[in-house]
């Protein structure tokens, strides 16, 4: 390395003081911005009294009441009836009984969470499967009006969902797809597929076509070459795309609200309906929110490197 290059680099390197100050500001922002999340997480472990305490309680005795309330429905009983009961068999029975209540049954939250999983993973699988095929098609073959088709695929993402919500609602009602897992899966697949095609095309473009050509010279068909030479190399891209699709389907609210009412309803429209005795049950809301956010937080940490490409359709390259 020449001396000139060396000196230029030291000129561009921020001074220790600049670094220290920048770090301090960024950390300050990160800490302040984290307060809402930390607070809602803490609320999940509060008692209903602590959750609406004034001034707000930063230190409190943790309780699992919020989580128990989230997963159960309870009925209030008279003290005489409570006294006549045999001793509680489980810790959550005992916890509920301290409030003069007995557990009546499971709450719908578990089912809603499972619906979110079914719809989320179902639509992600479909979007990634169809998206990989289409991306490979666009990446490797001469397709007439290719650019127009790619733009068409992208433009569907720009369309306000509310513009097509009414006809989709009518269409689903006519086809019997309202309030079904399949209905939501098809819809979320359609929303996700534009992202999947654009992202995956970027990833597949970077795999040299020589690999498949070599495989085809060895006598394999296009399909075999695609499966053996392209798919294994595109695995990271496929995984990143899948997580983006999953995050969208996991978080979607408007269509879930409009197209489902009971059997297929996902978790986001359900969380605002959690109501306890005498008003909103904030610890249960906190618990539900925490459980709902947890997978996304984990994915975000895993996904860090691919985030940029995902949110810009790969239009911005590092």
Partner 1 sequence: MTDATNIAPSGGVAQTERPQRSRTSPIIGAKLKGLSDRSIAWLFISPTILLLLAINIFPLIWAIYLSFTNYRANKPGVPVKWIGLRNYEQILSSEDIWGYLQVTAHFVVFSIALQVILGFGLALLINKRFKGHATWTTVILLPMMLSPAVVGYFWTYLFQPQAGIFNYIVGFFAGIAPDSFTMIGDVNLSPWAIVLVDTWMWTPYVMLICLAGLRSIPDYIYEAAEIDRASQWRQFWHITVPMVLPFLMLAVLFRAIENFKMFDMVVDLTSGGPGSATELASINLKREAFENWRTGYSSAFAIILFVTVFGAANIYVKFLNKVKQR
Residues 148-167 that bind partner 1 (CB under 8 A): 149, 152-153, 156, 158-167
Q: Closest CB to partner 1 among 23 and 76? A: 23
b/e map of 66-76 (b: 16 or more CB within 10 Å)? Answer: bbbbbbbebee
Q: Closest CB to partner 1 among 88 and 149? A: 149
If one asks whether residue 308 binds partner 1 (CB under 8 A), the answer comes out as yes
If one asks whether residue 216 binds partner 1 (CB under 8 A), the answer comes out as yes
In whole angstroms, the minimum distance from the beta carbon of 269 to partner 1 comes to 7
Chosen residue from 70, 101, 119, 134 binding partner 1 by CB under 8 A:
134
Q: Closest CB to partner 1 among 27 and 85? A: 27
Which span sits near partner 1 by CB under 8 A: 10-18, 68-76, 80-88, 99-107?
A: 10-18
> In angstroms, how far is CA 103 from the centroid of its own chain?
31
If one asks whether residue 59 binds partner 1 (CB under 8 A), the answer comes out as no
**Residue 57 — φ and ψ, nearest 5°?**
-90, 120
Q: Which two tokens stand for residue 166?
A: 């009414």
Q: Is residue 312 within 8 Å of 198, Cβ to Cβ?
A: no
In whole angstroms, the minimum distance from the beta carbon of 241 to partner 1 comes to 14
The alpha carbons of the chain give a radius of gyration, in whole angstroms, of: 26
If one asks whether residue 189 binds partner 1 (CB under 8 A), the answer comes out as yes
Chosen residue from 1, 3, 33, 83 binding partner 1 by CB under 8 A:
33
d(Cα 91, Cα 63) in Å, to the nearest integer?
A: 12
Q: Is residue 73 within 8 Å of 104, Cβ to Cβ?
A: yes
d(Cα 291, Cα 288) in Å, to the nearest integer?
A: 5
If one asks whether residue 37 binds partner 1 (CB under 8 A), the answer comes out as yes
If one asks whether residue 18 binds partner 1 (CB under 8 A), the answer comes out as yes
How far CA 51 is from CA of 46, 259, 277, in Å, comes to: 6, 33, 14
In whole angstroms, the minimum distance from the beta carbon of 197 to partner 1 comes to 6
Which span sits near partner 1 by CB under 8 A: 78-86, 98-106, 133-141, 203-211?
A: 133-141
Chosen residue from 137, 181, 209, 228 binding partner 1 by CB under 8 A:
137
**Residue 216 — φ and ψ, nearest 5°?**
-75, -35
- Give the chain's length: 318
**Residue 82 — φ and ψ, nearest 5°?**
-60, -40
If one asks whether residue 231 binds partner 1 (CB under 8 A), the answer comes out as no
In whole angstroms, the minimum distance from the beta carbon of 186 to partner 1 comes to 7
d(Cα 136, Cα 155) in Å, to the nearest integer?
A: 20
Q: Which two tokens stand for residue 126?
A: 């479909």
In whole angstroms, the minimum distance from the beta carbon of 97 to partner 1 comes to 26
> Which three-class secondary structure state does DSSP give residue 47?
coil
Q: Between residue 260 and residue 299, which ones bind partner 1 under the rule CB under 8 A?
A: 268-269, 271-272, 280, 282, 285-286, 289, 292-293, 296-297, 299
If one asks whether residue 104 binds partner 1 (CB under 8 A), the answer comes out as no
């Amino acid at each position: 390395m020449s001396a000139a290059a060396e000196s230029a680099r030291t000129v561009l390197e921020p001074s220790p003081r600049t670094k220290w100050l920048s770090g301090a500001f960024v950390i300050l922002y990160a800490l302040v911005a984290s307060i809402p999340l930390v607070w809602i997480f803490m609320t999940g472990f509060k008692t209903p009294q602590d959750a609406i305490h004034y001034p707000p309680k930063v230190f409190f005795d943790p309780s699992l009441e919020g989580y128990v309330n989230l997963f159960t429905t309870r009925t209030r009983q008279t003290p005489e009836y409570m006294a006549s009961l045999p001793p509680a068999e489980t810790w959550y029975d005992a916890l509920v009984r301290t409030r003069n209540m007995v557990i009546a049954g499971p709450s719908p939250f578990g089912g809603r969470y499972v619906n979110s999983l079914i719809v989320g993973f179902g639509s992600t699988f479909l979007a990634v499967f169809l998206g990989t095929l289409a991306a490979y098609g666009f990446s490797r073959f001469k397709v007439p009006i290719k650019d127009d088709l790619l733009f068409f695929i992208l433009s569907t993402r720009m369309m306000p969902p509310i513009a097509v919500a009414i006809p989709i609602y009518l269409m689903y009602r006519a086809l019997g797809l309202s309030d079904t897992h399949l209905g939501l899966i098809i819809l979320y697949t359609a929303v996700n597929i534009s992202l999947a095609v654009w992202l995956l095309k970027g990833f597949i473009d970077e795999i040299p076509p020589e690999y498949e050509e070599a495989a085809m010279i060895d006598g394999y068909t296009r399909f075999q070459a695609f499966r053996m030479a392209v798919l294994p190399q595109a695995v990271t891209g496929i995984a990143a795309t899948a997580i983006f699709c999953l995050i969208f389907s996991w978080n979607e609210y408007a269509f879930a609200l409009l197209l489902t009412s009971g059997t297929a309803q996902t978790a986001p429209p359900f969380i605002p309906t959690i109501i306890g005795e005498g008003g909103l049950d904030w610890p249960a809301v906190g618990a539900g929110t925490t459980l709902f956010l947890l997978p996304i937080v984990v994915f975000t940490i895993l996904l860090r490197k691919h985030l940029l490409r995902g949110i810009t359709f790969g239009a911005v390259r590092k």
